[in-house]
Amino acid sequence: RCNYAWTCPNGIDEIDCNPLSKCYPDGHECVSPTSLEVICLPVHRTGNGVIDCLGSTDERQHCREQNPDNPILRYRCWNSTDCVPSNCHNSNQCPFEQIQSFWNQCQQDQNIARVIFSLLHGIMLGSGIHLNNKYFILDNSTRFTMYTSVTNQIQIDSASSTVDIDTNPSKSELITKTISFHQAWLCNRGILVFLGLDKREHCLCPPSYYGDRCQFQNERISLTIQFTKKCAPGCDGMYSIILKLIDDEETIHSYEQFTHTSTEKCNTKYNINLLYNTRPKNIMTNYSIRIEAYNKIDLSFHSSWKLPVQFLFMPVQRIASY
């Protein structure tokens, strides 16, 4: 408590600690995304799953889960899931903050800089102080050990299923690690995890595959899309792109959403898989892909496009649009 690091999800352990704070004794300092000024946020509005502050200083769980081993990446970009280093300069990596020139104001206002920098105090949680939840990371695996040194030589003996890894050729030290190739290839395109105390094998499949071993392909649309800057004046900015696979009855089978910044991502190609909600799909129904663009700053509608889905007899159909 009162060590500047949020141990509780809502930071209540840091309430009533700093008499010099403008929000003392029952609030948290917060940088408003509308005024770009430091305001006071009540405790009941922190840790509730709703982001009210720039950098997500009131909702710190996401960046901690995404980067458990890197306490520097704690600033969450506004209207995004990206986490960047917690300082004024690196906030310029975020589209909204860059458009608003937030990093300039952050450097000029020490109160804003202090709030953003406070995210870094979470590094203290790594020394004996832990959150209530322990997140799953690959480093916890007892079956496959991860080595930090560079592998210079790999020898595989298929008969004994043994992998010899020479990690330090200068000292000629050889580390032998036994790997089960049954487990290595059990899930095909998926990820093998172990459930329960008896470590039952279970496969986590990507969206394009299914089955107990991820051995079957889903019928889907594989869409590649790219946007051009040849548009009406005022189209520069940040847009929320929504893609929906729909049928004749306007039923949405699947959808995806991403952010497109027209001034930076001109040459970016987006690759998206859209799945049918039935297996197999109904080949007697007409399908299409609807693409809608909204201004992400004020959520106003910008434009929409519709792409017909042809050749329904194909299990996987690839469509490219520019």
Q: Give, in words, the CATH class of 219-321.
A: mainly beta
Per-residue pLDDT tens for 227-286? 876 655 555 678 899 999 999 999 999 999 988 887 666 678 889 999 998 888 998 999
Query: Are 273 and 207 spatial neighbours (Cβ–Cβ below 8 Å)?
Result: yes
The whole-angstrom separation of Cα 204 and Cα 251 is 27
Query: Are 127 and 7 spatial neighbours (Cβ–Cβ below 8 Å)?
Result: no
Query: Are 131 and 64 spatial neighbours (Cβ–Cβ below 8 Å)?
Result: yes
Task: Check residue 235 and give its pLDDT.
Answer: 55
The whole-angstrom separation of Cα 295 and Cα 261 is 10
Task: Check residue 231 and give its pLDDT.
Answer: 55
Task: Check residue 263 and give its pLDDT.
Answer: 66
Query: Are 74 and 120 spatial neighbours (Cβ–Cβ below 8 Å)?
Result: yes
Q: pLDDT: is 180 or 109 the higher one?
A: 109
User: Would you say the C-alpha torsion 225, 228, 231, 236 has a positive or negative sign?
Assistant: positive
Q: Where are the domains of the chain?
A: 12-126, 219-321
Task: Check residue 208 and give its pLDDT.
Answer: 86
Strands, E assignment, the chain: 27-31, 38-42, 73-76, 83-85, 153-157, 162-168, 173-178, 191-195, 200-204, 209-210, 216-217, 220-225, 238-247, 252-261, 270-275, 287-295, 301-309, 316-321
Per-residue pLDDT tens for 101-147? 888 888 888 889 888 888 887 665 554 444 444 444 444 444 444 33
The whole-angstrom separation of Cα 31 and Cα 45 is 14
Task: Check residue 170 and give its pLDDT.
Answer: 45
Task: Check residue 99 and give its pLDDT.
Answer: 84
Per-residue pLDDT tens for 27-62? 999 999 988 899 999 988 999 889 999 989 999 899
Q: Quick one: tokens of 25?
A: 């004794």
